[in-house]
Amino acid sequence: MIRHYLANVIQLFFYCYTFLLFIRIAISWFPAWHRHHVVRFISFCTDPYLNIFRRILPPLGGVVDISPLLAFFALRLLEIIVLRFVIG
């Protein structure tokens, strides 16, 4: 029972973080919003994670950043690994 509850909490965390990543990527298309305190909070929470993948896969042509795709894939893979470890 506790493992099931813990698995649900972990899933919720990963879903929320994935949602924050989607918001962060969408917000990057609107530079005027970067000064808003909510946007700064989202950037504070997601940029360290995204920067890992930006170092691995820099923007193509200096413009197109596809590193978030790798970040989403890695996050999902990490979620599966953690859930299998918790559930057993």
The confidence score (pLDDT) of residue 9 equals 96
Indicate whether 62 pLDDT > 80.
Answer: no
Which tokens belong to 26? 């969408």
Residue type present at position 8: N
71 exposure class (CB count in 10 Å sphere: 0-12, 13-18, 19+)? buried
68 exposure class (CB count in 10 Å sphere: 0-12, 13-18, 19+)? buried
Start-to-end CA distance of the chain, whole Å, equals 13
Percent of the chain with pLDDT strictly greater than 90: 73
The confidence score (pLDDT) of residue 68 equals 92
Percent of the chain with pLDDT strictly greater than 70: 100
Q: What stretch of H or E contains 6?
A: helix 2-27
